[in-house]
Structure 1
Amino acid sequence: MAGRVTRGKRDALLVRDCFRAGGYVFAKKAGEIAQENGISRIARLASNENPYPPSPNAVRQGCDALREANRYPDECMEQLLRCLRETYGSYHFVSGVGMDGVIETLIRILVNPGDGVAIATPTFSFYGLAARAQSAEIRPLQRDEDYSVDPGIFIDAAGDAKISFLCSPNNPTGTVTPPEIIEEILAGIEGILFLDNAYIEFCDTDYLPLMNRHDNLVIGRTMSKAYALAGARVGYAFVPAWIVPFYQRASTPFALNSASAHAAIGALKDREFMNRYVTHVRTWRERVARECGLPVTPSGANFIMVDVAPWTGDAMVRELAKRGILVRSCASFPGLPDHYIRVSIGAEWENELFLKEIQAIREANSGLSQ
């Protein structure tokens, strides 16, 4: 019948790679856990969110921007870029709807169907999802047993890849790659290295000097974590100057809305507020790792990856959910065994509840490996 999309027609209409792209795996929602287990208060330790509201300065500027929401946000976009330069120095920046938006646009301008995209795994799955949507050839680069990166192996495996992705601190392991390793990789690869710094505020490593020496480096950042603006969806990147005009041609017009852009400006101007949260994370990250009684991978992020063997990650997630705690199983991260969970550093009460309940589970030894 005319006007109907049959299954066969649908398959012909869809981009071929949609069939083999599994989609992003989300953690279970807190509301679902509460309803399933009859618990009113859930410790939300699954998504690496900041457990506290944004800076009052960010809230005020974001709300004020809504008074002019009838206008397109062209001026506020430039104001955000100017604020980034005031904060970090005279680098070149691009922005997007979350770091995801930056990644998608970069892939759009760099990758043709069949081009290579190298990804150091296990890591954030969106790199591969975005590359597959462009019909790229994905080249997984397995990290070492301690989740470090061997630069020689990375360079050999990346080959002529148009863009390579490396996350540091890495999600979900928390591993920090030293700048000298990054510099060796930059000197050895043919394409762009996208260095994902979503969690950089939680460690002491500084990669920005590399921007002055390499014009094949892009450093991605986000306002979602340390600045508590996950719901505003503001991402940006330090880029070489030659990328900027091509990025601007390919990006969505007015990608950031006025409220998000101004909230980001307000947050960037209140570094003291952000620094208090970073101190909280570092203090509790050390304590949770020390007191949980299970092996923890050294982390430079606002989360830790915990080895829960002999239990599986999925089983531990279910058991903790019964106790009002939402964490993330690492089973969906390619390259990881199935006995890891990722635990965000939350508010004080959330961290204390996790320590209490993980100890109770260990003592009960309740056969969670089923």
Structure 2
Amino acid sequence: MERLVRSCYKKKSGYVFAKKAEDIAREYGMTRIARLASNENPEPLSPAALEAAEAALKTVNRYPDERVNALMTALRATYGDYHFVTGVGMDGVIETLIRTLVDPGEKVTVATPTFSFYALAAMGQGAEVVMVPREADFSVDVKKLIREGKDAKITLLCSPNNPTGNATDPEIVREILEGIEGVLFLDNAYVEFSGIDYLPLMKKHENLILGRTFSKVHSLAGLRIGYAFTPRWLPPWYQRAGTPFTVNSVSAAAAAAALTDKGHAERYVAQVKRWRKQLAEEVKYPVLPSDANFVMVDVAPHKSDEMVEELARQGVVVRSCRSFAGLPDHYIRVSIGEDWENGQFIRVINSL
């Protein structure tokens, strides 16, 4: 019966996951692993978020609020009078957005190398996916992206970009918005670490959607909750296309409470900025400038997988960038973790 599987999934692989720290530990007989592969916040969720999640657990015999009104209220209290949609992580927002806007055969453009799920989600909807390579320094090729995105339903751009770490200037984003006829989805999963504010663009451009997540700065990766700032016209259609009761009540309660604990987020942002600088200064391989909570390291003449395997043998789990389309096979991505994890990475990679 496998003949029934859609051809698009037979031709391309799915999302490539980083190797799990638990598997590394078992394989090499280790008890302590530096987990620097998945861009997670190493600090546990805030006490306010934990308390809210525990309270919400008592109500899980009932379906959650389909409008997640408490979270919407918290988002507006934090950011102002914007329009929002939510989903199961940033991935869920992207998937529902594509389902809302894109008919089979319509065009979606993606600036690459970048997060592979953009293309996977568009492919799953039957879209024509057009990859637009970035420049040699990984900045956006603005002219080419506008040219290819002119007649696209959605153009997907990540800033700061995963896995390269570099951000796109708001003025360049404005130029793209004015040059295309469809929607620009700007993935801001790592924007809190950049100091860049794209929100003013929302006031002037009704074709801009800003994606955000609670997985990084708010330590809620395991609860899978994302959201997006949208133009006024989008939410009713997004809700019509969305899966019922997508965001569970525990995740929504924890996310709403996490927004009130600004100190939790600020501590990790400070940690990230301090260690990005230290890694650039102390790692013997070239560390690319980053506006995210990770850095990309050029380990040439070694190959990506080769370096990842060698680091794993010595208790450090990082991400190979081999699976990122359009990226040469000599880069690794290293998350900013706890002090001991970052220090262990420096010691190990410099000893190789």
Aligned length: 352
Is 1:279 aligned with 2:270? yes
Counterpart of 1:224 (choices 196, 215, 229) is 215
Q: C-alpha separation between the residues in 1 aligned to 2:243 and 2:74?
A: 21
Aligned to 1:133: 124
Letter in 2 for 1:340: Y
Aligned to 1:258: 249
> What SS class does the counterpart of residue 57 from structure 1 fall into?
helix
Is 1:84 aligned with 2:75? yes
Aligned to 1:38: 29
1:57-72 paired onto structure 2 within 5 Å: 57-72=48-63
> What SS class does the counterpart of residue 58 from structure 2 fall into?
helix
Aligned to 1:366: none
- TM-score, normalised by the number of residues in structure 1: 0.94
Q: Percent identity?
A: 59
Is 1:106 aligned with 2:106? no
CA positional deviation for 1:76: 7.4
Contact 1:76-1:258 within 8 A present in 2 as well: no
Gaps of 5+ in 2: none
Give RMSD over aligned pairs. 1.0
CA positional deviation for 1:16: 3.1
Over residues 112-166 of structure 1, what are the superposed CA-to-partner deviations in whole Å (9 max), with x where a residue is unaligned?
1111110000000000000110111111010011111132221012231100100
Counterpart of 1:191 (choices 179, 182, 188) is 182
Letter in 2 for 1:15: R
Counterpart of 2:10 (choices 19, 22, 26) is 19
Counterpart of 1:235 (choices 195, 210, 226) is 226
- TM-score, normalised by the number of residues in structure 2: 0.98
Contact 1:21-1:132 within 8 A present in 2 as well: no
Aligned to 1:158: 149
CA positional deviation for 1:189: 0.4
CA positional deviation for 1:322: 0.4
> Rg bigger for which structure?
1
Letter in 1 for 2:341: E
Letter in 2 for 1:58: A
> What SS class does the counterpart of residue 350 from structure 2 fall into?
helix
Deviates more, 1:60-69 or 1:215-224: 60-69
Gaps of 5+ in 1: 1-5, 362-370
Q: C-alpha separation between the residues in 2 aligned to 1:126 and 1:76?
A: 26
Aligned to 2:312: 321
Relative to structure 1, the CA distance from residue 75 to residue 329 in structure 2 (aligned partners, 3 Å threshold; closer, same or farther) is closer
After the TM superposition, which segments of 4 or more aligned residues of structure 1 sit over 3 Å from their partners? Answer: none
CA positional deviation for 1:357: 0.6
Q: C-alpha separation between the residues in 2 aligned to 1:270 and 1:354?
A: 30
